[in-house]
Structure 1
């Protein structure tokens, strides 16, 4: 109780969330009086980032920076505009569609939000959209990053569940498309209510020209996703190949990437990576202390007494994971909960592990958009200057829509397993 009160208090006074998690862990250790916990604290923090798979995060961030510098992200946005056309709320549709295309390159929600906020928010402001709404919409578009291949979280889950990595990545395709279509429907409804501006009109010839000039940029997601699904590389190796591909495309195709800017790009990538990885390390410590306090084990035992069938189990897990995801980052949250909940899901309720993996990952990703932490909102705030709390309120309908999508995925396994049959 003391730890919870301290966590909420320091967060409300504006202490960065990473420090909130670290300081709350220290308070818990001192209140417990266990010297072993004190000695293990720095070790657990280091262990949180001591993972080969996490190397993919700096590489994906680097890819995003190279894409921005080489004009690749802009061409993907232009490609989305060519497909959408001049409809009411067109740039809002473009934001989601462009996030969907970029998801197949970056694979990380926080990294994607950081990159796309720099591109989409200023453009939407120019066309009359509220900055807070534009930033919030970009955050929800960033949900697609850990769902559409490549996905570091799906790779981590496949290792924990001992299922094929390729199966888990394929299982994320239909849920990603479903979320995109639901967001489109919501934008259409909100566009009527709030009278969103129309995007710039383009002739058929202009659209064709845009598609021809932007199509080579799709080489990057093809290389990344193709190498992973084809079994030629793991996500970290694919990210490295993707970074080289981004340099080649930016240098020789778009001809906008200047090698002299590489030191600044590496510096920016290092800064963003340090922020994300520090949050992962802090969340790892927090997760470790939760496990020490036997919180997850107690919850798992309680679930078995409450849920009587697979559907009630999944719906109950959705609520629990959404709460956990609000205070713990995706990968540490996955590592903490999957080993406890997966055996119950597969052995007691006979749920396909790949289906359960999709549900658990999307749930934890949605937690990144939920108070009190809302990590993705803080990332967007750091880039755009918009207030995190206001972003959540303005885009609350997208939170509700995401919850609806999660319920549909829980009720209908075919929405995640359809491409595997």
Structure 2
């Protein structure tokens, strides 16, 4: 009964428009008051949730991403990808996906990708004659590549929860992220050919090389981070600080677009973003503790395994549950609450925690561009001035490709585990 009240209060708060972090906190407070648990449990559990050395890398990566964005990284990546593949039919759409793949190594968040690349490419695509719903759909769907290709904030959360190597998780997401990007490019090309969308002029090799060198230092951030972590030169937390120093040097002395007077605002924006994530993690940990108190994890595990113990069926059920949750719950909150709940189920059918972590993150990323609460779809629709309904219809072919990649990741463990196995 208490668990039912917890979930009802949480859902009511969500549909009333209360931010997800406070919905988690308030519904947990209602439960605690009704069960008559001392209120000091709230700060204790919130502190437990954020008291992790690994989580210290979150502010570092957020700050590094903001520094690189202010340093003109978005335009350089877009210019390079457009020069490279813009001459193909639907070139701007392909450049949109390619830019998201390049931008993934900078931001690590899907929403930053949507806002940064979408604000540049959606108006440009509309001006060139691409359909507005198509432009929004390409941007929204491709932005979900960001948290799959390293560095990735959701992967950091997974590593913290499962106490597994964040370097392994970063590597495990690389092939699925590239597969997703290629799949979205194929759909973009097919639709562009069918609708006779424009193509740009083929650029000469010197122009392509020049634009590559323009984006080179930005794209190298991913290489520096992965090499440092996997070689043991620094931990993920230390890697985030290295990324900040790297972003400062590149932005101020190589690109020279980052100015000293911009730093206070960049620091403030990074502090606000970090605070928001930490509050969310704290409240989500409190909510998760309540679920454990009510034995919800065991109930979920027993329910799923009572339907079937066949690994194929169980994986399909996990995917359906996560896709549904991803349509209305914020990614980090969903991870903190559900990963400890579902990991034992995955373990019982023999899934490696790294494999399951990548599968779960991919599920939740797909949810970011799926109604009713797909925030990336909302942002892209707002930029493109397209109603959500029309954008959702245009999104369907891209959603289909994302689901195919999800199934491949779910049922072909080698796609995620091959690269980590090389460094064992």
TM range, smaller chain: 0.7 to 0.9
- 1:344-389, Cα deviation, whole Å (9 max, x unpaired): 433x323334323322232233333344433444565787776666
- Distance in 1 (CA, whole Å) between partners of 2:282 and 2:197 is 41
Match of 1:192 in 2: 193
Q: CA deviation at 1:47?
A: 4.5
Match of 1:223 in 2: 224
- Correspondence 1:294 to 2:314: no
Does the CA-based 8 Å contact 2:161-2:340 persist in structure 1? yes
Q: CA deviation at 1:332?
A: 3.9
- 1:304-332, Cα deviation, whole Å (9 max, x unpaired): 22223222221121112223334443344
**Cα RMSD for the two superposed structures:** 3.2
Q: 1:321 to 1:401 in 2, by over 3 A?
A: same
Q: 1:100 to 1:325 in 2, by over 3 A?
A: same
Q: 1:113 to 1:55 in 2, by over 3 A?
A: farther
TM-score scaled to structure 2, two decimals?
0.84
Does the CA-based 8 Å contact 2:52-2:160 persist in structure 1? no
User: Superposed, which structure 2 residues align to 1:319-358 within 5 Å?
Assistant: 319-346=320-347, 348-358=348-358
Does the CA-based 8 Å contact 1:150-1:228 persist in structure 2? no
Q: CA deviation at 1:99?
A: 1.3
Does the CA-based 8 Å contact 1:121-1:384 persist in structure 2? yes
- 1:208-243, Cα deviation, whole Å (9 max, x unpaired): 332233323333222222212222222332122112
Match of 1:408 in 2: 408
Q: 1:365 to 1:47 in 2, by over 3 A?
A: farther
- 1:386-418, Cα deviation, whole Å (9 max, x unpaired): 666664444233223212211111222222223
Match of 1:266 in 2: 267
Match of 1:240 in 2: 241
- Distance in 2 (CA, whole Å) between partners of 1:162 and 1:19 is 27
Match of 2:158 in 1: 157
- Distance in 1 (CA, whole Å) between partners of 2:90 and 2:201 is 11
Match of 1:308 in 2: 309
Number of aligned positions between the proteins: 418
Q: 1:214 to 1:325 in 2, by over 3 A?
A: closer
Q: 1:184 to 1:397 in 2, by over 3 A?
A: same
Give the secondary-structure state (helix, strand or coil) at the position aligned to 1:395.
helix
Match of 1:176 in 2: 177
TM-score scaled to structure 1, two decimals?
0.85
- Distance in 1 (CA, whole Å) between partners of 2:269 and 2:381 is 17
Q: CA deviation at 1:119?
A: 4.0
Match of 2:61 in 1: 60
User: Superposed, which structure 2 residues align to 1:108-147 within 5 Å?
Assistant: 108-129=109-130, 133-147=134-148
- Distance in 2 (CA, whole Å) between partners of 1:372 and 1:98 is 26
- 1:173-205, Cα deviation, whole Å (9 max, x unpaired): 111111111111111222234443334553333
Give the secondary-structure state (helix, strand or coil) at the position aligned to 1:36.
coil
- Distance in 2 (CA, whole Å) between partners of 1:136 and 1:288 is 38
Does the CA-based 8 Å contact 1:139-1:380 persist in structure 2? yes
Match of 1:91 in 2: 92
Unmatched tracts of structure 1, length 5 or more: none
Match of 2:397 in 1: 397
Does the CA-based 8 Å contact 2:280-2:333 persist in structure 1? no
Does the CA-based 8 Å contact 2:49-2:285 persist in structure 1? yes
Q: CA deviation at 1:300?
A: 0.4
Q: CA deviation at 1:141?
A: 2.4
Q: CA deviation at 1:116?
A: 3.5
Unmatched tracts of structure 2, length 5 or more: none
Does the CA-based 8 Å contact 1:279-1:329 persist in structure 2? no
